[in-house]
Amino acid sequence: MLLTLHPRIGRWVQLGGHCENDDIDIVTAALREATEESGITGLRIDHELAAVHVHPVTCSLGVPTRHLDLQFVVTAPAGAQIAISDESLDLRWWPADALPDGADGADPALMFLVERARLAAQTSLE
């Protein structure tokens, strides 16, 4: 699982971001963000929304709000090389059963994505 060390919250989290005006849909936005934040070309995204996670956050203006994560399974090509973007302190591959302390992997929604990715990989091999 590829996780980024988020500079503002200091935790390992999934790649992600916000939709931009020229994104034609959320799948396009998710793939763009994953590509930008990982530096990996040739990513493949499952177009089916895998999970939705809503949690409280405080925005940069100090206002409490809710954050909506629309989560997709994205697969990197074999041998993909990562590149840390300026939006991250670090970027690393982690085994799903050995995530770093404090990682979002403790989040059941993210672990659901891991299982979805495993099933997708098995299906593509059959």
Q: Three-class SS string for the chain?
A: CEEEECCCCCCEECCCCCCCCCCCCHHHHHHHHHHHHHCCCCCEECCCCCEEEEEEEECCCCCEEEEEEEECCEECCCCCCCCCCCCCCEEEECCCCCCCCCCHHHCHHHHHHHHHHHHHHHHHHC
> What is the average per-residue pLDDT within 114-126?
69
Q: Does domain 2-125 have CATH number 3.90.79.10?
A: yes
Parse the chain into domains and list their residue ranges: 2-125
In the predicted structure, residue 125 carries a pLDDT above the cut 70 = no
pLDDT band at 34 (very low <50, low <70, confident <90, very high): very high
